[in-house]
Amino acid sequence: MGIDNRGYRGKVQRHRSIVAQIFGLADSRTGVAEFSPSFVDRVRKMEFPQFMFLPKKPGLFEVDSLLRLDELQSVFTPHLTPTQHSLGDDVLPILRQQFQFLVT
C-alpha cells in the first residue's frame, strides 16, 4: 500500500521561534512578593537548572523575574514584536549551558 504525497512539494515554510516565559517574582503594582525569599535565593544560586533569575531593570522588568526553561513554546514569528533588548555577553553562555543541561 503506497502513500500518496501530492499535497507536499518538498518545502515547508514555518516562520517560528522558541520563546521562554518570564514571570515576575513580585506583584508589579504592589511590590508584594509572590514567592518565598528562600526560594528566590535558591534560584539566584542556580539550584534549579530550569529557572534563570532576571534582576529588576527599569524599562524592561518592573520587578525581579524568573525565566522558565522547562516550558519553552514555539510561536509564530510574525506575532512577535522585536525590541532592542538582548542578554548580555556574560549571561548568554550561562543560559545556553542551562538549556543544554536540560535537554541532555
Given a contact cutoff of 8 angstroms between Cβ atoms, the answer to whether 49 and 102 are in contact is yes
Q: Tell me how long the chain is.
A: 104
Q: Could you tell me if residue 28 is inside a domain?
A: yes
In a domain? residue 8: no
In a domain, 70, yes or no: yes
Domain that holds residue 84: 16-103
> Has residue 76 got a pLDDT over 80?
yes
Dist CA 31 CA 67 (whole Å): 19
- How far apart are the C-alpha atoms of 46 and 22, rounded to whole Å? 16
Helix (H, G, I), strand (E, B) or coil at 33: strand
Residue 30 inside a domain? The answer is yes
Per-residue pLDDT, 68: 95
How confident is the prediction for the chain on average, in pLDDT? Answer: 88
Q: Which pairs from 3-8 meet CB under 8 Å and 24+ separation?
A: none
Q: Give pTM, 2 decimals.
A: 0.77
pLDDT of 1 above 60: no
Structural domain contains residue 6: no
Average pLDDT over residues 93-99: 91
- Structural domain includes residue 97: yes
Q: How many domains does the chain have?
A: 1
